[in-house]
Amino acid sequence: MERCTKVAVANPQKVHIRIDNLGVQFCMRRIGTCGKSFISQGQQPRTPAPGGLLRTAAQALVVALLATRPVAAQNAEISGFIADPSRLAVPSARVVVQSRQTGAGRSVSSNAHGEYSVPALLPGAYDISVEASGFKTLQQSGVILEVDQRARLDFNLTIGSSTETITVEGSAPLPNESDASVSTVIGNRFVENMPLNGRSFSSLIDLTPGVVLTPANLYEQGQFSVNGQRPDANYLMVDGVSANLGNAGSGGLLYQGGAGQLPSTNAFGGTSNLVSLDALEEFRIQTSTFAPEYGRTPGAQISVVTKSGTNVFHGTAFEYFRNDKLDANDWFANAKGLARPELRQNDFGGVLGGPIKKDKLFFFGSYEGMRIRQPQVANTYVPNLASRQGAPAAVQPLLNAFPLPTGPDLGNGTAAFSAGYSDPSSLDSSSIRIDYLPAERVTIFGRYCDAPSRINQRGGGGYEYSDIKNSKYGAQFLTLGSNQALSSRLTNEVRVNYSRTTAHGFYILDNFGGATPPPNSLLYPSFASPQDAAFLFYADSAPNGIKFYAGDLGNDWQRQINLTDNVPRVTGSHQMKWVWLF
């Protein structure tokens, strides 16, 4: 049995370590291999070196104490084997990995076994050079690293002078030989070329094998299921920190959104409040057999990385629109002889990124605005004129709050009503990211995002059509992070995040369809107002029937403080990892 090479935590209550009379069970990882070995019941363990088992168990227990629950960094890692023409290991070879976008470089040396590892790299394109005494310098350009990728790239050196250089242009996709995780990567180029209604990256998640879309409701608010898991069993991370902080409900009951089980969403149910499409670098969806460090939930583990600035200025601007002038009338509106309701959809914005100080300081900003007017047709019943005129004087203002009839009398004091209208909604999502490279082995970044959104729904909640449900959402996210290569064998990745989501819901009555809103003095006592109280008129339970709600629905907010630390260490041909999360 090999020595332990990686110890990680599966979830807050369970650690993948077991000590019993047969030995120790733990997770391990060898650089460049995907084999895993366990000691469990029914297996005879090999006798370890004196003190080796105790040292391994002690290291595992230390990690178990430090890691209260899992953390998953979203950086990439590249490792491999450096060999001579006889396929023998080349120790002390210098490996330099340099970013094409920012010019930032990292250098490590191969160990006595000829193996190297460079963790904590941002996703992107890199140039790699390998130098060793008595061998020609080898340069590999255009190596692409993806989010949360554990890539392997071996090098075969040629005998000669180090002043001679062999250059290899481009490279094939790098395989993952370090674990058996099943995942799908969706890059920015693919996202930009896909026509997405609503421009939310969550629309692409169902392209992943094993993902099934599920209808959302009050009690099951997740939007997709992975490999048969519950829709609320998925975990979303943005730039290495949790985005599962919920959406503060709709100003009323929180349901699953208040327990941190779901990603934050905007008023439209999308994720553009987290990351605008044009500010998204790429994201990875792991659906099964992922590492224990991702074990908080059994569903999909979604890792999102945002774009950062480079040494070259880049920017884009966009405008997408829909208009009712290009569409036919709604069938129900035609059937009632109603005019075509107004349809407007304008999605606009842009991004700009570049250097503040070349090779040192970079910025990337984004803005996306959305203005929508969604056409609807009301088809219901309201109090007829006779009911209004014959009601007691105290009740008449309440019945006059309903639209006037437009159709025949239906009996029981009601008459038909139909009308066309449009529900307005809006979104303003903006973000700024700053990257700083103070030294070759240190990177620092900060990102702030503010994304308020709102939606007005006439007849929302099943009340009558002159009753408008207003929902205002707020979302603010601040993330700070740093990667430090403390040595060629030890790396530290730190993230700090503060997130806040708010939701305010309230109902107002208007004059839609000839309705007359009653005065506040009739609905509320002298010590109350629509800002801190509510009035409910309830005559039946039918959807959009004889009932209305006026006043405040609720004002909710949630916040998250997230601190993570990820410390991988390379020891010989093995890698150990300590993780901590608060």
> pLDDT tens for residues 487-515?
878 889 999 999 998 889 999 999 999 99
At CA 168, angle to CA 165 and CA 169, rounded to 5?
130
Q: Structural domain of residue 173, as residue ranges?
A: 76-178
Going by pLDDT thresholds of 50, 70 and 90, the confidence category of residue 259 is: low
Q: Do 237 and 301 lie in a common domain?
A: yes
Which of 131, 148, 178 is a domain's end point? 178
Band (pLDDT 50/70/90 cuts) for residue 40 is very low
315 in a domain, yes or no? no
Helix (H) or strand (E) holding 521, with range, is helix 520-523
Q: What is the mean pLDDT of the chain?
A: 82
Provide the terminal-to-terminal Cα distance of the chain, rounded to the nearest Å: 34
Q: Are residues 174 and 257 in the same domain?
A: no
pLDDT at 84: 93
What pLDDT score does 19 carry? Answer: 28
State the total domains in the chain. Answer: 3
In the predicted model, is pLDDT for residue 67 greater than 70?
Answer: no
The pTM of the whole model exceeds 0.85: no
Would residue 134 count as lying in a domain?
yes
Predicted local confidence at residue 261, as pLDDT:
75
Please check whether residues 189 and 288 belong to one and the same domain. Answer: yes
| 332: confidence class by pLDDT, cuts 50, 70, 90 | confident
CATH number of the domain where residue 109 is located: 2.60.40.1120
Residues 35 and 98 in one domain: no
DSSP-H helix ranges across 296-413: 331-335, 385-390, 396-399
Give the confidence band of 95 by pLDDT, cuts at 50, 70, 90. very high
Pick from 276, 286, 284: nearest CA to 307: 276
Least confident segment among 55-69, 104-118, 239-253, 540-554: 55-69
- Among 149, 178, 207, which residue terminates a domain? 178
Do residues 204 and 119 share a domain? no
**Residue 459 domain-assigned?**
no
% of the chain residues with pLDDT over 70:
84
Do 302 and 193 lie in one domain? The reply is yes
Q: How confident is the model at residue 289 (pLDDT cuts 50, 70, 90)?
A: confident
Beta-bridge partners for 268: none
Q: What is the pLDDT of residues 525-580, one digit of tens each?
A: 999 999 999 999 999 989 999 999 999 988 888 888 999 898 888 777 677 888 88
How far is Cα 380 from Cα 463, in angstroms, rounded to an integer? 11
Select from 498, 510, 482, 503 the least CA-distant residue to 566.
482
Whether residue 144 sits in one domain with residue 241: no
242 found inside a domain? yes
Cα separation, 306 vs 20, whole angstroms: 45
In a domain, 300, yes or no: yes
Of 306, 322, 341, which marks where a domain is finished? 306
- Domain check: are 49 and 164 in the same one? no
| Residue 517 falls inside a structural domain | no
d(CA 255, CA 261): 10
Q: How confident is the model at residue 256 (pLDDT cuts 50, 70, 90)?
A: low
Cα separation, 226 vs 238, whole angstroms: 19
**Cβ-contact 16, 6 below 8 angstroms:** no
- Closest by Cα among 319, 109, 285, 321 to 185: 285
- Quick one: tokens of 150? 């554990």
Residue 551: the pLDDT is: 94
Q: Both 188 and 286 in a single domain?
A: yes
Report yes or no on 535 lying in a domain.
Answer: no
Same domain, 81 and 168: yes
Kindly state the tokens that stand for 461.
């909640």
- In order of 178, 209, 281, 527, 574, the CA distances from 90 in angstroms are 21, 41, 36, 83, 17
Supply the CATH number for residue 225's domain: 2.170.130.10
**Are the C-beta atoms of residues 422 and 388 closer than 8 Å to each other?**
no
Give me the amino acid identity at 444.
I
114-146 tens-digit pLDDT: 999 888 888 888 999 999 999 999 999 989 898
Residue 496 domain-assigned (yes or no): no
Are 170 and 260 members of one domain?
no
pLDDT of residue 418 exceeding 80: yes
* Confidence at 255, pLDDT banded by 50, 70, 90: low
User: Do 265 and 161 reside in the same domain of the chain?
Assistant: no
